[in-house]
């Protein structure tokens, strides 16, 4: 009888364990069903929000994030796939903003020629926040033409021939000669750094290596921040981009003050702008 009682007790325990496992499994499955239903409802709700007469076809993705993840991961492939599905003019939700994407040359030409009628190209909110609303990409009409004219005055044909191109040629030759010492070369990474260093040299001349590294680190963080969802939380690319912009402003102010104190004349773009300012 004792053995029979023990067997029954063990069997009962096994049945309870199986029931407990089944209960946990059913709970997980129930949570998965609820989660899938909730995600589906959110996607449908976000799509319906932007279903209005006159808007082109397209998908809007998730609330807030939209299709940013796919856009950043796939890059040109994302645009190509959307174009195959919806044509050259479609809607999406990128970098925190509802967006109309035009890959049609005729439409783009029409928009660029009719800024005075309220048709202006838009830029991500993160880019406007980090670069500022007064940067050349953000202004339109007469303000844009004025800023564009000022910029072109720095790179006139005479300036290009006598100053910019010789400096670019010298820098490129010097930079490329360093590749002979490398066994493996990451072309994309090296080209990115080469373009930045060449531009920095044109703008601010030959700077000390620690200062160049500060500019470079801040600049690449700024670029990543401009292509991020504008969520201002610690650790996000957006917050890092804003901080990088502040660091670049600080470095430029310090460099300009150092040049004023030295009394020297500089022939780079920053020197030209400071001369105009005076």
What is the per-residue pLDDT across 87-135, written as a single tens digit (0 to 9) for each? 999 988 888 788 888 888 888 888 777 766 666 667 788 888 898 877 7
pLDDT band of 8, cuts 50, 70, 90: low
What is the per-residue pLDDT across 67-78, written as a single tens digit (0 to 9) for each? 888 888 888 899
Domain spans in the chain, listed from the N-terminal domain onward? 1-49, 52-121, 144-277
Q: What is the pTM of this model?
A: 0.71
3-state SS string over the chain?
CHHHHHHHHHHHHHHHHHHHHHHHHHHHHHHHHHHHHHHHHHHHHHHHHCCCCCCCCECCCECCCECHHHHHHHCHHHHHHHHHHHCCEEEEEECCEEEEEECCHHHHHHHHHCHHHCCCCCCCHHHHHHHCCCCCCCCCHHHHHHHHHHHHHHCCHHHHHHHHHHHHHHHHHHHHHHHHHCCCCCHHHHHHHHHHHHHHHHHHCCCCHHHHHHHHHHHHHHHHHHCCCCCCCCCCHHHHHHHHHHHHHHHHHHHHHHHHHHCCCCCCHHHHHHHHHC
Nearest to 253 by CA among 277, 232, 234, 227: 277
Q: What residues have CB less than 8 Å from 266, skipping those under 6 apart? A: 205, 259, 274
pLDDT band of 31, cuts 50, 70, 90: confident
Tokens 């959110």 -> residue: 42
Look over the chain and give the mean of its residue pLDDT values, rounded to a whole number.
82
């Amino acid at each position: 009888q004792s053995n029979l009682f023990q067997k029954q007790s063990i069997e009962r325990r096994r049945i309870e364990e199986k029931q407990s496992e089944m209960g946990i499994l059913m709970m997980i499955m129930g949570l998965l069903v609820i989660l899938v239903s909730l995600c589906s409802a959110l996607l449908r709700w976000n799509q319906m929000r932007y279903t209005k007469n006159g808007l082109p076809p397209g998908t809007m993705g998730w609330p807030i994030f939209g299709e940013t993840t796919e856009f950043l991961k796939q890059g040109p492939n994302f645009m190509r796939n959307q174009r195959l599905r919806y044509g050259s003019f479609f809607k999406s939700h990128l970098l925190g903003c509802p967006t109309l994407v035009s890959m049609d040359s005729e439409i783009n030409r029409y928009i660029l020629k009719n800024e005075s009628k309220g048709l202006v190209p838009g830029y991500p909110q993160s880019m406007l926040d980090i670069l500022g609303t007064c940067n050349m990409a953000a202004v339109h009409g007469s303000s844009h033409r004025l800023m564009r004219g000022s910029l072109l005055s720095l790179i006139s044909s005479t300036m290009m021939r006598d100053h910019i191109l010789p400096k670019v040629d010298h820098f490129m030759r010097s930079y490329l000669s360093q590749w002979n010492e490398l066994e493996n070369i990451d072309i994309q990474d090296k080209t990115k750094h080469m373009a930045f260093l060449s531009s920095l040299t044109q703008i601010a001349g030959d700077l000390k290596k620690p200062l160049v590294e500060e500019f470079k680190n801040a600049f690449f963080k700024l670029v990543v921040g401009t292509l991020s969802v504008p969520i201002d939380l610690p650790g996000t690319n957006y917050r890092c981009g804003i901080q990088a912009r502040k660091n670049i402003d600080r470095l430029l102010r310090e460099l300009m003050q150092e040049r004023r104190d030295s009394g020297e004349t500089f022939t780079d773009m920053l020197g030209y702008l400071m001369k105009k300012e005076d």
